[in-house]
Amino acid sequence: MSIQSNLNTIKATLPEHVTLVAVSKTKPVSDLMQAYEAGQRIFGENKIQEMTEKWEQMPKDIQWHMIGHVQSNKVKFMAPYVTLIHGVDSLKLLQEINKQALKNNRTIDCLLQIYIAEEESKFGLDENELNELLTSVEFKELKNIRILGLMGMATFTEDQNQIKKEFTHLKSIFNSIKNLKTENCSLNTISMGMSGDYQLAIECGSTMVRIGSSIFGGR
Ligand SMILES: *Cc1c(COP(=O)(O)O)cnc(C)c1O
Q: Is residue 111 within 6 Å of ligand 1 at its C-beta?
A: no
How many whole angstroms from 103 Cα to the centroid of ligand 1?
Answer: 30
User: Do 147 and 111 meet the contact criterion of CB atoms below 8 Å apart?
Assistant: yes
pLDDT (tens digit per residue) in 36-89: 999 999 999 999 999 999 999 999 999 999 999 999 999 999 999 999 999 999
Q: What is the CA radius of gyration of the chain?
A: 17
The two most distant CA atoms of the chain are separated, in Å, by 51
Question: What end-to-end distance do the CA atoms of the chain give, in Å?
Answer: 16
Q: What pLDDT, on the 0 to 100 scale, is given for residue 70?
A: 96
For position 55, what pLDDT does the model report?
A: 98
Question: What is the position in ligand 1's atom list of the atom closest to the CA of 213?
Answer: 8
So what CATH class is 3-216?
alpha beta
152 lines ligand 1 (CB under 6 A): no
105-118: per-residue pLDDT in tens?
999 999 999 999 88
Q: What is the pTM of this model?
A: 0.97
212 lines ligand 1 (CB under 6 A): yes
- The mean pLDDT value for 172-186 works out to 94
Own/partner contacts of 120-124, CB < 8 Å, gap of 24 or more, are 122/153, 123/69, 123/87, 123/89, 124/89, 124/152, 124/153
Of all residues in the chain, the percent with pLDDT exceeding 90 is 94
Domain boundaries, the chain: 3-216
Answer yes or no: is pLDDT of 164 > 70: yes
Whole-number pLDDT of residue 143: 97
What proportion of the chain, given as a percentage, has pLDDT over 70? 99
Res. 181 pLDDT band, cuts 50 70 90: confident
- pLDDT, tens digit (0-9, with 9 covering 90-100), for 16-32: 999 999 999 999 999 99
Please report the atom of ligand 1 found closest to the CA of residue 21. 10
Partner residues linked to 145 by β-bridges: 108
Pocket test for ligand 1, best of 194, 206, 216 (most atoms within 8 A of CB): 194
Buried b (16+ CB within 10 A) or exposed e, 119-133: eeebbbbeeebbeeb
The CB of 210 under 6 Å from ligand 1? The reply is: yes
Question: How many angstroms is it from 46 CA to the middle of ligand 1?
Answer: 9
Beta bridge partners of 47: none
Ligand 1 centre from 25 Cα, in Å?
9
pLDDT, mean of residues 171-187 = 94
Q: Can you tell me the distance from the alpha carbon of 134 to that of 21, in angstroms, rounded to the nearest whole number? A: 26
Inter-residue contact 97 to 121 (CB < 8 Å): no
Could you give the CA distance from residue 173 to residue 196 in angstroms, rounded to a whole number?
Answer: 23
Among protein residues, the one whose CA lies closest to atom 6 of ligand 1: 212
pLDDT category at 122 given cuts 50, 70, 90 is low
